[in-house]
Amino acid sequence: QWIGFIANTSTATFTATPFFCNDSNGVQIALYSDCKSAPLACNVGKQYGGITPVSVTVSDLNPGSNYFLLVDGYAGDLCNFTIEVTPDDAVYEPALGMVGAITGPTDLCSGATFQFSVAPVSGAGAYIWDGPPGTLVNGDSVPVAALAPGGAIVQITVGTQSGPICVQAANSCKQNPPCASSHQVNILPDTYRPAITMEKPQSLNCTEQPAQLAVSIDPPATYRYDWVSDSAGHIVAGANKLNAKVDSVGLYTLTVTNQINGCSSTDSVEVTEPRIPDNAAMYIRHISCYGNKDGLLRVDSVMNGQEPYVYSLDGKAFNVDPTIRYLEPGDHNLTIQGANGCEWDTTFTMLEPAELLVVLDPDTTLHLGQSFEVWNDANVNYPDRVKQTTVTPPELDSLLCIGCVFVPDHSFRYRVTIVDSNGCRATDDRLIVVNKERYVYVPNVFHPDSDADGNDYFTIYGGEDVDRVLYLRVYNRWGKPVFENRDFQPNDLFSGWDGRISGDQAIPEVFVYETEILFKDGETVLYRGDVTLVR
C-alpha cells in the first residue's frame, strides 16, 4: 500500500508493525521521493518475520516536500499493519477548514441520481459523504470518502428513505465533526413517477420511412428520454426523444426521467412485422333502379391492419370516410390503407337492375261507343317485378285487368305508372280520341210482305254510338199517328213498325216519321223524315 505525506522535519523514522499475517512472513517497507526513482531507504524484512516491526530512517528529508511510503507483504504475504512516525512532528499536519452548505435537490424519487456539491474546503484531502440507508455516492454505499479535489462534487443516488445527506471534510490528520453539513432529502411517493402510455404491440410500416413509436407521457413536465433496444432492434433516430424511430423488429425499452425530481418510469414495447390488412367486412347496397347511380359501399371493419384507415376507389385519392356513395354499375377496385401504409386491395361488382318499362298501345281514335283494353301484361317488360300499378284518371283503376275494356264517351289521355319492390317507377301515357260522328240510318222505304228479306219492318238502325231509341212515331199524310214505340234498341226489327194500322195492313202510301235517339255521350238528336210503304 502506498502512503503519501508532506515532510515537516529533515530526519524521520517510519516503523510498520504487522499483525494477522496470512503466511507469518510479515512486511517490508521502503521510502520514495516519487514513484519512479530508487527508494531513499528500504527494509526488505525477512521470511517468517511474523509480527516483528520493520523500520526505515531517513535523515535528508526536505521539509515541505511530498514523499511516499510503501508497505508490502514479504513474499506476497497479506497482513494488517500500523505505522508509527518519530518524531511526532515529522509529518506535516495541514490546517483543515469547515465544510459549507450542500447544494442539491430536495424532493426526489427513490433511485434518482443527482449531483450534490460543497465548496472546496481548504486542507481537505477527502470528503466523507453519508446519508440514509440505501444511499449511493458515486455508485458506492455510504459512507464514502471521496478524495479531493473532485470529492467536493459527487453523484448521489437516493434510496427509499427520506433523511439528511451529510458531508465532512478530512485529511490524513484531521476531519470535521460528523455531518458537519447536511441537506434534507425527501423521498416522493411513486405517484410522482411519470405515467407511460404505449400502444402494445406496435409494428413496422410498409413505407420506406422508419416507424415512429407511439408513446405519450403524463403529466406534462421536463423529461429526459432514453430508448434502448434488444439485439434485434435498431433505433434509427430519436433515441433521446419521446417518439423514437425504428426500422427493425425487436423489444424497445423507454426510460422517462423527470429532470426536476428524478422520478422515472420504464416501459417496453414489442415491435413486430407490419400489420397488413388482409380482409374486410363490407356492406354493399346495389343500385336501386336503372340509371339512379345510388350504389353504396360501406366498410364496417378491417381485419389485421393498423387503424386508422383511409379508402380509395378505383385509384382515386384516399378518403377517411368508410362509406362510398353514388357508385355507378360495374366492377370497382377498393384499396384500404392502414396508418402504417400497408394496403389491401379487393374488387366488387355494383349491380344495376334492368330498366323497368311500361309501354302502352299506340295512341288511337275510336268511334263513340267503341271500347278499348286499358291494360295487359304485355304493356310491361318485367310483369313479375310489378308490385303496384296506378292509373290516371283514377276511374280507370278498376280496369287494370286482363280483358277489361272501357267505352269512352269523350277524348282523353290516360297514364299508367308501375312501381316495383325497390321503388323503381315506370310511366307511359296514351291518347284516346273519340270520333262523335253519328251513325244513324232510317230507311226511306219498306215492304212488309213477310218474305223475311229484312225489309218487312220499318225501324231505326244505328252504330255502337247509339245508346237507345227514346221513341219512334209514324204519322199518315193527315198527321194522324199510326205507330209509336219507346225505349228500344236500334237495329231491332221487331221493335219497329210492321206496316199495320189497328191490325190491318196499311195501303201503300208515304208516311211521316219522327224519332229521338239517345247517344252514349248523353246527347239526344231528333230525326224527322218520310218513309214509303210499298206492297
For residue 200, the model assigns a pLDDT of 86
The Cα–Cα gap between 3 and 214 comes to 57
Q: Is 98 within a domain?
A: no
Q: Is 9 within a domain?
A: yes
CA-wise closest residue to 207 among 345, 344, 342: 342
Full DSSP string of 100-156? -PPB--SEEETT-EEEEE----TT-SEEEEE-STT-EETTEESSEEEETTGGGEEEE
Last residue of a domain, one of 136, 159, 188: 188
The Cα–Cα gap between 367 and 363 comes to 14
Q: Is 355 within a domain?
A: no
- Per the DSSP assignment, residues forming a β-bridge with 85 are 14
Q: Is 396 in the same domain as 331?
A: no
Q: Is 80 within a domain?
A: yes
Torsion of CA 317, 319, 325, 331, to 10 degrees: 50
Does residue 362 have a cis peptide bond before it, meaning omega lies within 30 degrees of 0? no
Q: Is 249 in the same domain as 286?
A: no
Q: Which domain holds residue 69?
A: 2-86
Place of cell 283503376: 397
Does residue 149 have a cis peptide bond before it, meaning omega lies within 30 degrees of 0? yes
Q: Is 138 in the same domain as 210?
A: no
Could you give phi then psi for residue 220, rounded to 5 degrees?
-65, 140
Could you give phi then psi for residue 343, rounded to 5 degrees?
-125, 155
For the chain, state the CA radius of gyration.
Answer: 63
Last residue of a domain, one of 257, 272, 287: 272
Place of cell 223524315: 529
The Cα–Cα gap between 533 and 483 comes to 13
Q: Is 399 within a domain?
A: yes
CA-wise closest residue to 163 among 189, 130, 139, 194: 130
Stated pTM of the model: 0.52
Q: Is 446 in the same domain as 429?
A: no
The number of distinct structural domains making up the chain is 6
CATH code (residue 300): 2.60.40
Q: Is 127 in the same domain as 144?
A: yes
Torsion of CA 213, 217, 221, 224, to 10 degrees: -40
CATH code (residue 17): 2.60.120.380
3 state SS of 74: helix
CA-wise closest residue to 473 among 415, 530, 522: 530
For residue 408, the model assigns a pLDDT of 93
Q: Is 289 in the same domain as 307?
A: yes
For the chain, residues with pLDDT lower than 70 are 172-173, 452
Contact 28, 81 (CB under 8 A): no
One-letter-per-residue 3-state SS of 469-493: EEEEEEECCCCCEEEEEEEECCCCH
Q: Is 359 within a domain?
A: no
Distances (CA, A) of 85 to 181, 252, 287: 32, 60, 110
Full DSSP string of 338-399? -TTS-EEEEEEEE--PPPP-B-PPPPEEEETT--EE---GGGBS-GGGEEEEEEESGGGGGG
Q: Is 94 within a domain?
A: no
Last residue of a domain, one of 252, 272, 292: 272
For residue 535, the model assigns a pLDDT of 82
Place of cell 504475504: 77
Place of cell 434509427: 236
Contact 406, 396 (CB under 8 A): yes
Q: Is 511 within a domain?
A: yes
Question: What is the chain's percent helix, strand, coil content, to nearest 5?
Answer: 5, 50, 45
Please state whether beta strands 445-446 and 524-533 pair in parallel, antiparallel, or not at all (unpaired). Answer: parallel
CATH code (residue 213): 2.60.40.10
Q: Is 460 in the same domain as 523?
A: yes
How many other CB atoms are found less than 10 A from the CB of residue 68? 16
